[in-house]
Amino acid sequence: MTRDPAPSPGLLRTPGMIGVLIMAAAAFGGWSLLLPVVPLLVAHSGGSDALAGSVTGVFMAATVVTQLLVPRLLRTQGYRRVLAVGCLLLGPPSLVLLISADAGPVLAVSAVRGIGFGMLTVAGSALVAELAPKRILGRATGAQGIAIAASQMAGLPLGLAIMERWSATPVFVLGALIPALALVAIAGLPKIFAQPTGESARLSVFVVLVPVLALACVSASFGGLSSLLPIAISERAAVAGVVLATASGSMLIGRYSAGLIADRLGSGRTLAPALASSTIGLVLFAINVDGGSTPVLFCAAVLFGLGFGAVQNESLVMAFQAAGPRQLGSASAIWNIGYDAGTGIGALALGFVATTAGYAWVFAVSAVVVALLPALAAGGKVIGSRVAR
């Protein structure tokens, strides 16, 4: 009689997993502290709205360009080195802003920090897939999402509160120190290099098209929601903040729940329901944004947040499984680019919709785009399997 092999360790007992979660929380916490503060400082220092907006634009542009290069770095330099350099580029350069808030230094610092952020996002996601046994991959990516989102929920309002109460100086110091402290967690991570791809191991875009397209469309809707809802209901500014916080909290639940389901029933099962939930939430926003019911806005936030969180986790797990162990870095890069580019493009495009047609149409257009994807998601595995043959 043969014995069953010993079960793999649980989530938090997986070697390196706690370190990855601590590193993610520290890096993204430091990033979120500065995210709203730097543009605000530029505006307070006499900079134009265009300059204030370009701060985030330069940051994200540097992030996306870097994400394209990280898979190769993971193969040649290893995860620990890439993560360590990413933390050092993301945090300490913010100390330059203590000296000057002029356009040149601010944009240069934003570009450098964007490079660090691009390294962290791709390497951090791929490392979770390297460390986690297949049976808990969904929960592992969900736990990482919770660590990141929780630190953002704390950091975004905290940075603004510190600046309002004292000044931007302690924000920049904390923004430099917190990501640097992640080096302690990185030092304890296993020394892992991404697997060499080999000449025949090329990641077909069609294999990951469905999950990344789903993510990009819903993240574009989130970009419009987070940027435009406070303006759309400016007469209820306090309500807007709580609605966005409700959506963020719901994302945490949606992301981890999707991970549990993926581990128990298989990936791909919650993508279409998650897209449907996001669509219904956007429809409720469209109906109620112009003087509608406040309780319905909260219901919309819950439905959209649950759907968006589930789409995040499900699309990431599907991308990793479709890519295979030799292409985890590439899958992570594509996923992160879809998320970041979708958010930025969505805010820009939906801002144009708001200017030309009104805020209700922002959410109506978003709902239509997201509603077209469940059928595509349902056929995604068929498309991927045919391409892979």
What is the rounded CA–CA span in Å between residue 327 and residue 337?
15
- Taking a C-beta distance cutoff of 8 angstroms, is the pair 34, 171 a contact? yes
- The domains of the chain, with CATH numbers, are 11-191 (1.20.1250.20), 204-389 (1.20.1250.20)
The 3-state DSSP class for residue 36 equals coil
Burial class (CB in 10 A: 0-12, 13-18, 19+), 104: exposed
Both structure tokens of 190: 């296993």
- Non-local (6+) Cβ contacts of 164 within 8 A are none
- Taking a C-beta distance cutoff of 8 angstroms, is the pair 283, 367 a contact? yes
Tally Cβ neighbours within 10 Å of residue 340.
23
Both structure tokens of 34: 């500065």
What is the rounded CA–CA span in Å between residue 1 and residue 231?
68
What is the rounded CA–CA span in Å between residue 126 and residue 325?
10
Please report, for residues 138, 194, 201, the alpha-carbon distance to residue 128 in angstroms, rounded to integers and kept in the order given. Answer: 10, 12, 21
Gyration radius (Cα) of the chain, Å: 21
One-character DSSP codes across 277-327: HHHHHHHHHHHHTTT--HHHHHHHHHHHHHHHHHHHHHHHHHHHHHH-GGG
What is the distance, to the nearest Å, from the Cα of residue 49 to the centroid of all Cα atoms in its chain? 25
User: Residue 311's closest CA among 145, 190, 183, 181?
Assistant: 145
| Angle at which helices 49-76 and 79-90 cross, to 10° | 160
- Taking a C-beta distance cutoff of 8 angstroms, is the pair 26, 178 a contact? yes
Both structure tokens of 8: 């793999």
The pTM assigned to this predicted structure is: 0.80
User: Residue 284's closest CA among 312, 307, 315?
Assistant: 307
| Angle at which helices 271-288 and 359-371 cross, to 10° | 160
Q: Per-residue pLDDT for the chain (389 aa), expressed as one digit of tens each?
A: 334 344 556 777 788 889 889 999 999 888 888 877 887 787 777 776 567 667 777 888 889 899 999 989 998 898 999 999 999 999 999 999 898 878 888 889 989 999 999 999 999 988 988 888 888 888 888 888 888 888 888 887 788 888 888 888 999 999 999 988 889 999 888 888 877 655 444 555 556 777 888 898 998 888 888 777 877 887 776 687 788 888 888 988 998 899 889 888 877 788 889 999 999 999 999 998 887 788 999 999 999 999 999 999 998 888 888 777 778 888 888 888 888 888 878 877 887 888 888 889 989 999 999 988 656 655 554 544 444 44
One-character DSSP codes across 185-224: HHHTS----PPP--TT----TTTSHHHHHHHHHHHHHHHH
What is the distance, to the nearest Å, from the Cα of residue 269 to the centroid of all Cα atoms in its chain? 21
User: Residue 8's closest CA among 17, 126, 145?
Assistant: 17
Both structure tokens of 33: 């502290």
User: Residue 156's closest CA among 248, 230, 254?
Assistant: 248
- Non-local (6+) Cβ contacts of 269 within 8 A are 261, 262
Burial class (CB in 10 A: 0-12, 13-18, 19+), 48: exposed
Backbone φ and ψ for 213, nearest 5 degrees, come out as -65, -40
